[in-house]
Amino acid sequence: MKAISHFVVRVFDLIEAEGRSLLTVARGEAQRAQATVASMAMAAAFLFVAVLLCVGGCWLLGSGLMWWLETQVSRPAAACLTGLVAILVSGVCAFTFRALAWKQQP
């Protein structure tokens, strides 16, 4: 009976020790997963903004070119400059997305 009680006590000590190790590993993995999800969410937001700005910039460049060819006034030049700025900003957002998406996680 004494041997069985020592066996049961040692088994529960082992379970307790392994439980602490499992909890430590699970917390570390959860933190890494949280960092990855946050990074991907930020990257997706920048990608969304980049796509919208690129579409808007292309539309403004097209309309600016059309207005310039029709009337040759300064309003199309302003639309072209605005379109170029929007495309440049979308490029920055796209490169930020790339940097965030390919960033090494700890």
Asked whether the whole model's pTM tops 0.75, one would answer no
Model pLDDT, residue 49? 93
**Alpha carbons 30 and 42: distance in angstroms, whole number:** 18
Q: pLDDT, tens digit, for every residue of 39-94? A: 889 989 999 999 999 888 888 877 877 776 666 667 777 777 778 888 888 899 88
Model pLDDT, residue 52? 92
**Residue 6: pLDDT above 80?**
no
Model pLDDT, residue 106? 61
**Alpha carbons 40 and 47: distance in angstroms, whole number:** 10
